[in-house]
Amino acid sequence: MSIVKDPALAEAGRKKIQWVRDFMPALSQIEARFLREKPFQGLRVAVSVHLEAKTANLGYVLQQGGAEVYLTGSNPLSTQDDVAAGLASMGVETFGIHGASPEEYQRHLTETLKCHPHIVIDDGGDLIDLLGGKCQAYADCLIGGCEETTTGILRLKAREKEGILPCPMVAVNDAKAKHYYDNKYGTGQSAWDGIMHTTNLVVAGKTVVVAGYGWCGKGVAMRAAGMGARVIVTEIDPFKALDATMNGFQVMTMDQAAPLGDVFVTVTGCRDVIVGRHFAAMKNNVLLANAGHFDCEVAVAALREMAVQSEVRRENIVGYTLSNGHTLNVLAEGRLVNLAAGNGHPAEIMDMSFAVQALAAEWLTKQTGLEKKVYPVPDTIDDAIGRAKLAAQGLSIDALTPEQEAYLSSWSVE
């Protein structure tokens, strides 16, 4: 059933998968227990996450837990064809081809859902969108699902508010193991990995404009400053803006920042963050990169219309020349730069995020009577993953004594 570009790439894909498995100890501990207990026995799990090696490991771990796993990508440009072939050869039904057209991408999502899943694991809400719409016929067995992106959670909560959420969903993105670790340190490193690998340009000495100072934006700004860049932050939230100021970054509007920046990185989860009037004010040869989930933060279509000329300047870089002679360089078509032009978050980072996905999916199998709402990840799951990660790194922390616990839970000052 799998749809991959070339099954002959399987061996190379399996090597990539094995490499990351060696650096994902928390998920390995979960896999060992899943092998014994088979918590997903008899259940079908549909997964739509960026189809690369760490995601493949998650799919394999769920399979080891007894699940029938059907896995696709969540962005055509982040799919790695060798990994897709490797995962398919390991018995996971896999649907994904790098650079798939919008029509092919929708087909891959639909094929993944034809299994009538019990559980969905989503990244950006594509599966839930289909299950609540044209693929409703495949939602008859749904127990629930997990969502791991900020944008996806916003869309789920909007569906919940309107009463059209197709099943209970766990907000994996909001777990401590996800946003403290993955969003800040994962995005912070992998976005710059994608930008630097794609451009082969220095970061030090440049002015970097980071749009959005949530957990992902904090990581992007921190790494830029660490490499010697001057950092400007744009925000709509006054307290996030104040936080950025207290961390030593300049804060201003995008209108003010547009003429100053050498590199622009959007990390907001919103659309039209950089638009026509900003393009018109920019320097020659600026770099435009998006590290948010969807490709609408930089208005590339508007830039294309403004341009008098465009050309592919390097792999994953298109230069758009405006009537004033300035060329603006868009990385990875304005898609998620760390995956569309890189390998995504490091394995050690995704170890924790995918551990949350696996345990949240297991939690759903043990619940009854859940309403069609968005639920937080239970603290017991978060804490267990944090402790497993500490142990894997050879680290220890203190524990409260009974007297300290009593003190913290009491109103008495004695």
Binding positions = 149-151, 214-219, 235, 291-293, 338, 345
User: Rounded to whole angstroms, how far apart are CA atoms 125 and 380?
Assistant: 25
- In this structure, the strands spanning 207-211 and 230-234 are parallel
Binding-site residue numbers for NAD(+) are: 149-151, 214-219, 235, 291-293, 338, 345
- Choose among 348, 361, 346, 353: nearest CA to 385: 353
| CA–CA dist 62, 87 (Å, integer) | 12
Rounded Cα gap, residues 230 and 260, in angstroms: 10
Pairwise CA distance, residues 347 & 353, whole Å: 10
What pairing do the DSSP bridges indicate for beta strands 309-314 and 317-321? antiparallel
| Centroid of chain to Cα 183 | 8
User: Rounded distance, CA 239 to CA 46, Å?
Assistant: 38
Write out the two tokens for 140. Answer: 């008859």
C-alpha distances (whole Å) from 214 to each of 183, 233, 253, 321 are 9, 11, 16, 32
Q: In angstroms, rounded to a whole number, what is the distance separating the alpha carbons of residues 387 and 98?
A: 36
Angle between helices 379-392 and 25-37 (to 10 degrees): 120
Interior/surface letters 38-61, b for 16+ CB within 10 angstroms, e for the rest: ebbeebbbbbbbbbbbbbbbbbbb
Six-digit token string for 328: 């603006």
Torsion of CA 178, 180, 184, 189, to 10 degrees: -70
- Strands 68-72, 230-234: pairing kind: unpaired
Pairing of β 374-376 and β 93-95:
unpaired
